[in-house]
Structure 1
Amino acid sequence: MILLSFEENVNVISRFDNEQFKVEILEHKKLNGTDDVSLGDTLYFAQKSGITLKQVRITMKNSSLTTETGALQFMKGQLEMESKLGGVGGLAKKMLTSALTDETITRPVYKGSGEIHLEPSFGHFIILKLNNEEVVVDQGIFYCCDSKLDVSVIRQKNLVTGLIGGEGLFQTKVSGTGFLVVKVPVPEIEIKKEVLNGETLQVDGSFALLRKGKVEFTIQKSSKSLIGSFTSGEGLLQTFKGTGEVWLAPTLPAYNDIYLEDTDQDADDSPGKLSWIRRLLDIFS
């Protein structure tokens, strides 16, 4: 089959509609290469292992969209972009927050009617529909949302939780009613959504992506004494307690191990190039 157009070369793998928005997650069926033939091996093994390029397309009708800074690729229609700094005091506060959180000073807001394409990625996008709810996401996971949602930065309750917990001192909180698109490092099928009903969930590692509802995040020792925690081999555990939902990516540490093994090899050692792709192909074939 010969593909003749952009639309023929994409699948809509996820979609959300209401009166003001049509949100689509596009999957490019095939990348046919550029004028750089050296990319051929990479594209071949990526496609064989099921790695595809994805993109968020949003059609707006008299509405307002908030995105992560730098997410826009192109837009068409009666649309305008604005960034509210809130005056000198607001600017100073945002600059201080940005310096402390490694977050950008402000996120752009697009208003009007038209179509927006956001930057494509080999990562994975998920659409969440919030109904008077609250979601806290790890750094780098927020991608875009209905501007009716409130997007803010929250600080971990203590220094130990932020630095040792692996989640950072600050995270992004999104609350209200509307849609939210998150960018996650693994496919949704590899995300385990743990529902908590006044229970406690403890995680050894940094692979919790987000939490919904009234869930408190702390760091706790895996045994009664700090020495016991380290000698047990488990150390300190990310602890989630309350009522809500926690998204875990149990396969993420394995991907990180593959990446670290590959980067440890000499960059000029040609047999080691693409080893992570080949290894994934072996695993999933």
Structure 2
Amino acid sequence: MTDLPPLRDVINRHGLFATKALGQNFLFDEQLLDRIARVPGKLKGENVLEVGPGPGGLTRALLRAGANVTAIEMDKRCMPALAELSDAFPGQLTVIQGDATRIDPATLFEGPWHVAANLPYNVGTQLFTGWLSGQDWPPQWKSLTLMFQLEVAERIVAAPGTDAYGRLAVLAQWRASPRIAMKVHRSAFTPPPKVMSAIVHVEPGTMPEGVSARMLERVTEAAFGQRRKMLRQSLKGLPGALDALEALGIDAQRRAETLSVEEFVSIARVLTK
């Protein structure tokens, strides 16, 4: 590997700047980027999917860690800078110009992969819930290491009974283990976003038996769609849901945010049968 020029020099040379329309915020602190790349554990020889690499800050760190990176970038302006990284790390980096929401990662890798990304803010939650969905489990990804706005990160790891607890927490926790690996101050980005950020690390867990993932999604969608209402009101439009509450001994006067992840799973299991 040849020595790489500072990231700021790269973006200046290529005339790059972050655009709000693409949800871009660039990170230049290479020590911070190396810390993020260490969150998934040892990556030497591992396949890693990166979404929205921009000028390649995190990409550099992943490549330095020995990962084989496939990066999906929508912004054509970043292609020359990423091409330079491909030359600096022969055989380790594949760059795809396109929309990550329309690309199935399973078509990109022959074996399992990790995901590591400073996700564009405007598509981060959509991509995250997509990776968590589906009946097949464990998933083909081995871990997710993702940058979110701190508020979103707190929603992912939230406990029942808290203001942040909602559908995202249930979908993230019912068969996986998410944690906030580190917080990232807004001043670390260029341009600085208005809010703090955080790295969320997720590892797949055990799939509860007898539960349809789609049914759990329907239950949480109904329950949290009207979260200020009692369950007897929010779930009445879901066939069999109120009977399931009664069978499980769950008080229909409770609100969605008071139910544990396990209780939501139990409701979905009854409705799956």
Instruction: Give yes or no for TM over 0.5.
Output: no
Higher share of residues assigned helix = 2
Which structure shows the bigger proportion of residues in strand conformation? 1
